[in-house]
Amino acid sequence: MYFVYIVECCDASLYTGCTNNIEKRIKEHNEGKRGARYTSTRRPVVLKYTETYKTIGEALKREATIKTWPKKKKLLLFL
């Protein structure tokens, strides 16, 4: 399983990503050096939304689509 996720950063900005282990990835964003550069200066992050896919290709395609959306549209997914 692969996950597309959206986290909210401490500055209220949103970050969209893709992973096969959502718990590990959120921990990396909050604690480790393997988190995204964007989130490393905006900790802590809070998981707000996930979608599940069978293949990495499907997940990456969806991630790319969501990343093109304005913040207001992303917020509609979980508010």
Strands (E), 1-79: 2-8, 14-19, 46-53
What's the pLDDT at 66? Answer: 98
Checking if the pLDDT of 5 tops 90, the result is yes
Average pLDDT of 2-8?
98
Per-domain residue ranges of the chain: 2-70
Architecture of the domain whose range is 2-70: 3-Layer(aba) Sandwich (3.40)
Average pLDDT of 1-11?
98
34 three-class SS: coil
Q: Number of C-alpha atoms within 13 angstroms, CB side, residue 42?
A: 17
pTM for the full model?
0.95
Question: What's the pLDDT tens digit per position in 9-66?
Answer: 999 999 999 999 999 999 999 997 888 899 999 999 999 999 999 999 999 999 999 9
What's the pLDDT at 4? Answer: 98
Counting beta carbons within 10 angstroms of the beta carbon of residue 59, is it exposed (0 to 12), middle (13 to 18) or buried (19 or more)?
buried
